[in-house]
């Protein structure tokens, strides 16, 4: 049997996805070096085509598209990753408690989860940002609030199945208390589906963040890819690069995350992938 890493890295789609994500990560890390300017600063004449001096051209106000992309990658990644971590943490806590304790606790928590699931998530996110006033924090909150229910369902299902296994009963017999059993015995065995769902959630978070920024509900004073698409959309026919370049960046990043997520799933559940 090949090891997890052999299966994971032997998959060409995973390698392609990781390559692009690695590039984006490097760009985000070294943004101040790659584009040592304020992305909102006017750099040249408006609507300059991509050239040697301005690799991706300039936008309707003469801001450098390159600087926008580079700094935008930071905003997009940070907001998406923080929002995902928050929703995974909250979703896992709710799902684990519901699945482990069952009964009335489960009923109440799952009805609550379903309540959140029934609200169309993007509209809900818009409402939340509008109420909280647009800022990086409210973006994170809005994205996290609309994306935890699927995590809860995955974790609850896994906890339900793991909890009934005999090693959990053995821990009860040894005298371990519920919280310790949940954290030491049960949750470590739910990690693989959680990692897969969580990694795919990052892609969704990027899409929501971009869409909110596109609508002008993004964080003010923070350049982001969605904002760039939104700002350039009226000039699509005259200056194609304003919309196309950040759009492609979003597309490739979301695609890469999905490829890596699928690859994780195949590598963690080898039987499904082989047969």
Partner 1 sequence: MSEPVLSIEELRVALPSWSDRELAVDGVSLSIRRNEILCVVGESGSGKSVMAKAVLGLLPAPHVRVTGGRIVFEGQDLVGASEDQMRAVRGERISMIFQEPMVALNPLMKVGRQIDEVFQIHTDFTAQQRHDRVVDLFADVHLPEPDRIVGSYPHELSGGQRQRVMIAMALALEPSLIIADEPTTALDVTTQAQILTLMKELQGKHGTAVLFITHDFGVVAEIADRVVVMRQGRLVEAGDTQALLRAPQQDYTRALVAAVPSLHPRHAVNEEPPAPVLQLKGLVKTYGGRASLFGGHSRTVRAVREVSLEVPRGHSLALVGESGSGKSTLARCVVGLESPDGGQILLDGEDIAGLTRKQLKPYRHLVQMVFQDPFASLNPRQRVGDIIALGPRLRGVRRDEAWEKARELLGLVGLQPDAASRYPHEFSGGQRQRIGIARALAVEPKLILADEPVSALDVSVQKQVLDLLDELRQRLHLSMLFITHDLRVAAHVCEDIVVMREGEIVERGSTREIFANPRHEYTRQLLDSVPGKQWDH
Name the site residues for partner 1 (rule: CB under 8 A).
1-2, 104, 107-108, 111, 165-167, 169-177, 184-185, 188-189, 274-275
Nearer to partner 1, 4 or 240 (CB): 4
Least Å from the CB of residue 260 to partner 1 = 23
Smaller CB separation from partner 1, 27 or 181? 181
Q: String of b and e for 172-199 (b: at least 16 CB within 10 Å)?
A: eeeeeeeeebbeebbbeebeebbebbbb
Dist CA 134 CA 273 (whole Å): 43
Nearer to partner 1, 167 or 240 (CB): 167
- Residue closer to partner 1 (CB basis): 104 or 272: 104
- Cβ contact 182:119 at 8 Å: no
The encoded tokens of residue 234 equal 């009226």
Question: Shortest CA distance to 56 belongs to which of 268, 262, 218, 247?
Answer: 247
Instruction: Indicate the residue among 103 and 120 with the shorter CB distance to partner 1.
Output: 103
Least CB distance from residue 161 to partner 1, whole Å? 11
Q: How far is the CB of 270 from partner 1 (least distance, A)?
A: 9
Shortest reach from residue 16's CB to partner 1, in Å: 24
| Tokens (6 digits) for 125 | 């996110």
**Number of Cβ atoms within 10 Å of the Cβ of 255:** 15
Q: Output the smallest distance, CB 163 to partner 1, in A.
A: 12
Q: Residue 268 contacts by C-beta under 8 Å, 6 or more apart in sequence? A: 4, 192, 193, 195, 196
């Amino acid at each position: 049997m090949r090891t997890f890493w052999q299966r994971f890295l032997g998959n060409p789609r995973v390698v392609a996805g990781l390559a692009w994500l690695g590039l984006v990560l490097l760009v985000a890390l070294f943004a101040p070096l790659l584009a040592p300017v304020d992305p909102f600063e006017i750099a040249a004449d408006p609507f300059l085509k991509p050239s040697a001096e301005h690799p991706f051209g300039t936008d309707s106000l003469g801001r450098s598209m390159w600087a926008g992309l580079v700094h935008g990658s930071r905003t997009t990644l940070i907001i998406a990753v923080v929002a995902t971590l928050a929703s995974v943490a909250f979703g896992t806590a709710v799902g684990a408690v519901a699945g482990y304790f069952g009964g009335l606790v489960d009923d109440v928590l799952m009805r609550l989860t379903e309540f959140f699931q029934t609200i169309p998530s993007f509209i809900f996110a818009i409402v939340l940002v509008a109420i909280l006033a647009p800022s990086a924090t409210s973006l994170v909150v809005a994205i996290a609030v609309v994306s935890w229910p699927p995590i809860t369902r995955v974790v609850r299902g896994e906890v339900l199945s793991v909890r009934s296994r005999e090693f959990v009963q053995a821990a009860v017999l040894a005298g371990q208390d519920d919280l310790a059993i949940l954290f030491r015995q049960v949750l470590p065995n739910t990690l693989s589906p959680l990692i897969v769902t969580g990694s795919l959630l990052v892609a969704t978070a990027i899409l929501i963040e971009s869409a909110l920024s596109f609508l002008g509900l993004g964080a003010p004073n923070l350049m982001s890819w969605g904002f760039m698409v939104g700002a350039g959309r009226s000039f699509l026919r005259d200056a194609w690069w304003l919309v196309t370049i950040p759009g492609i960046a979003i597309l490739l990043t979301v695609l890469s995350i999905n490829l890596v997520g699928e690859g994780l799933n195949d590598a963690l559940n080898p039987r499904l992938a082989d047969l």
